[in-house]
Amino acid sequence: QMQLQESGPGLVKPSETLSLTCTVSGGPIRSFYWSWIRQPPGKTLEWIGYIYDSGSTNYNPSLKSRATISVDTSKKKFSLKLSSVTAADTAVYYCARDRRDYGDYFDFWGQGTLVTVSS
């Protein structure tokens, strides 16, 4: 069974860069899309962006080019960097397998990690 696990700091200072990593196990990382999705407390889900194993990426325009997603297929990890964070970036961050090529859905999710932006 495929499993995803997010890791990274739970507290980031305003104006700094948020960095998270997702480790994929129980299945291949190649030939799939992988997304980051976040959920501010009490709010709905917001897609951040995806990466394909070739390295091609696409991001939510609302993040105004602050997000960067990268992948290391040899380690079965993909990562998110979000620069110039503010309190509005406080959220639970999820990584997920993205099946936009097969039906446009997210079928496997990490457990999520809460990132708080505060000085």
Partner 1 sequence: DIQMTQFPSTLSASVGDRVTITCRASQSTSSWLAWYQQKPGKAPKLLIYRASSLQTGVPSRFSGSGSGTEFTLTISSLQPDDFATYYCQQYNTFGQGTKLEIK
94 binds partner 1 (CB under 8 A): yes
Give dist(CA 54, CA 119) in Å, integer.
Answer: 37
Q: Which is it for strands 91-98 and 33-39: parallel, antiparallel or unpaired?
A: antiparallel
- C-beta closer to partner 1: residue 11 or 45: 45
∠ CA 112-45-76, rounded to 5°: 40
Q: How many residues bind partner 1 (CB under 8 A)?
A: 17
Q: List the structure tokens of 102.
A: 């097969």
Contact set for partner 1, span 33-72 (CB under 8 A): 44-47, 60
106 binds partner 1 (CB under 8 A): yes
Q: What are phi and psi of 72, to 5 degrees?
A: -125, 95
Provide the residue type at 26 as one letter.
G
Contact region with partner 1 (CB under 8 A), list: 10-18, 66-74, 76-84, 107-115: 107-115
Helix (H, G, I), strand (E, B) or coil at 62: helix
Contact region with partner 1 (CB under 8 A), list: 14-22, 24-32, 70-78, 94-102: 94-102
- C-beta closer to partner 1: residue 66 or 110: 110
Provide the residue type at 51 as one letter.
I
What residues line the site for partner 1 (CB under 8 A)? 44-47, 60, 94, 99-100, 103-107, 109-112
